């Protein structure tokens, strides 16, 4: 005769889903012991039938509950096992380096940090600008031959004046915006991409990085600029540099100059230290009164200097790279050699 206690004891011994299926067939299945008992019960006297019927119903309920609980237990076990197998470790191993900055990005980030430590505020600005921002706001009339110095890349989209937007040819496009945004005195830098329709060569690319610097205050002189730029370039090039100023024409400065640098190098052949050749690295000058006026500044009260340094050329000097086009030609062998 089927007893609940015995059946539960049997269930307890079951250790996997296959044994559980067998258990079900033996006890709870269509041809299982419980149904057999129900069949036998039909022949009993009414009183005994009632009593046995109640007993069997209780056995059926309790056994089914216990069976289902065990079934659930095995299912959860299977799910957990699967989850363990499918587990993806999304944490990165902090001891291994995954990727690295390009050297151009590294020099730009360095420049940003150095300038911040020297008290400059920093803005990136936009690469798509109006002709007003790129030219007129910095004293370059659109008919001026200087626009040809910056062979410009035009976009189809138009600005509110109905003129085609352009890709900025220099970061000086931000000068007017910076003065209006921050007011005076001002000490700001703008690192970022610039674009020109250039004849490409080892020191000219069509996309290159510049960093604009602008300082406006009372009684600012060329001496302030020379002192600051020598310190900035030495920090950026990781060596003490000598700077030289050559008079140069930029419509947005007066006087204007180009800055060359030279520094000590080791000559492998002679085994002696010597000075490198002068290398042009940036344009600069005292901000033209027209640029100040255009931004609403009283040019009789305030003065300042601005500079635009070629980050791509700086990176080339710092790492001894002969051709700046390596930075943008996507050659992985070059990128990996600095990773
Ligand atoms: C300018 O772009 C001026 N806006 C700089 C300036 C700012 C002058 C503020 C005065 C006051 P220039 O065209 O010379 O000037 O460019 C400045 C620097 O950008 C250059 O010295 C050079 O380092 C870099 N540069 C210019 N053209 C290229 C190019 N095609 N490829 C790579 N670097 C370039």
pLDDT tens digits for range 266-323: 888 999 999 999 989 999 999 999 999 999 999 999 999 999 999 999 999 889 899 9
Residue 301 is predicted with a pLDDT of: 96
DSSP state for residue 139 in the 8-state scheme: T
- Which residue out of 150, 283, 286 has the highest number of ligand 1 atoms within 8 Å of its CB and is therefore the one to mutate? 283
Enter the tokens of residue 106.
Answer: 């590294």
Residue 213 is predicted with a pLDDT of: 98
For ligand 1, the distance from its centroid to the CA atom of residue 198, given in whole angstroms, is 12
What value does the mean pLDDT take over residues 216-243? 95
For ligand 1, the distance from its centroid to the CA atom of residue 309, given in whole angstroms, is 6
Residue 113 is predicted with a pLDDT of: 96
pLDDT band for position 42 (cuts 50, 70, 90):
confident
DSSP state for residue 161 in the 8-state scheme: T
What value does the mean pLDDT take over residues 147-166? 88
Between 156 and 90, residue with greater pLDDT: 156
Closest atom of ligand 1 to CA, residue 210: 19
- H or E element at residue 303: strand 303-310
For ligand 1, the distance from its centroid to the CA atom of residue 190, given in whole angstroms, is 13
| Residues with C-beta less than 6 Å from any ligand 1 atom | 170, 172, 196, 198, 204-205, 208, 210, 250, 252-253, 256, 280-285, 306-308, 310, 312-313, 324
Tell me the domain boundaries of the chain.
4-86, 103-337
pTM: 0.73
Q: Which residues contact 271 (CB under 8 A, 6 or more apart)?
A: none
What value does the mean pLDDT take over residues 203-232? 96
Burial code (b: 16+ CB inside 10 Å, e: under 16) for 69-86 equals ebbeebeeeeeeeeeeee
Residue 150 is predicted with a pLDDT of: 66
Residue 71 is predicted with a pLDDT of: 93
Least trusted range by pLDDT, from 14-23, 157-166, 193-202, 330-339? 330-339
Question: HSE on the CB side for 89, CA within 13 Å?
Answer: 4
Residue 15 is predicted with a pLDDT of: 92
| CATH 3.30.930.10 is held by the domain 103-337 | yes
Residue 97 is predicted with a pLDDT of: 66
């Amino acid at each position: 005769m089927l007893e609940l206690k015995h059946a539960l004891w049997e269930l307890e011994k079951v250790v996997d889903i296959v044994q559980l299926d067998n258990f079900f067939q033996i006890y709870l299945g269509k041809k299982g012991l419980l149904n057999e008992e129900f069949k036998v019960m039909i022949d009993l006297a009414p009183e005994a039938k009632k009593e046995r019927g109640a007993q069997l119903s209780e056995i059926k309920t309790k056994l089914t509950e216990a069976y289902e609980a065990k079934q659930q237990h095995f299912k959860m076990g299977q799910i957990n096992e699967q989850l363990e197998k499918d587990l993806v470790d999304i944490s990165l191993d902090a001891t291994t380096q995954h990727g690295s900055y390009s050297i151009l990005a590294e020099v730009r980030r360095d420049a940003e940090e150095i300038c911040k430590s020297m008290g400059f505020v920093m803005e990136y600005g936009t690469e798509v600008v109006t002709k007003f921002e790129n030219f007129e706001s910095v004293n370059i009339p659109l008919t001026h031959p200087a626009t040809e110095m910056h062979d410009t890349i035009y976009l189809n989209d138009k600005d509110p004046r109905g003129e085609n937007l352009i890709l900025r040819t220099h970061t000086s496009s931000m000068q007017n915006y910076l003065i209006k945004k921050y007011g005076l005195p001002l000490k700001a830098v703008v690192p970022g991409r610039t674009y020109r329709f250039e004849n490409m060569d080892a020191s000219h690319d069509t996309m290159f990085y510049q960093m604009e610097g602008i300082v406006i205050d009372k009684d600012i002189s060329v001496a302030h600029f020379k002192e600051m730029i020598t310190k900035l370039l030495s920090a950026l090039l990781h060596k003490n540099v000598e700077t030289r100023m050559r008079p140069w024409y930029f419509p947005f400065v007066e006087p204007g100059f180009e800055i060359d640098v030279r520094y000590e190098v080791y000559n492998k052949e002679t085994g002696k230290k010597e000075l490198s050749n002068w290398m042009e690295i940036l344009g600069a000058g005292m901000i033209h009164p027209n640029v100040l006026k255009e931004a609403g500044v009283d040019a009789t009260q305030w003065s300042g200097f601005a500079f635009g340094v070629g980050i791509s050329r700086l990176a080339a000097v710092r790492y001894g790279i002969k051709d700046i086009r390596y930075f943008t030609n996507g050659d992985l062998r070059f990128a990996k050699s600095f990773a």
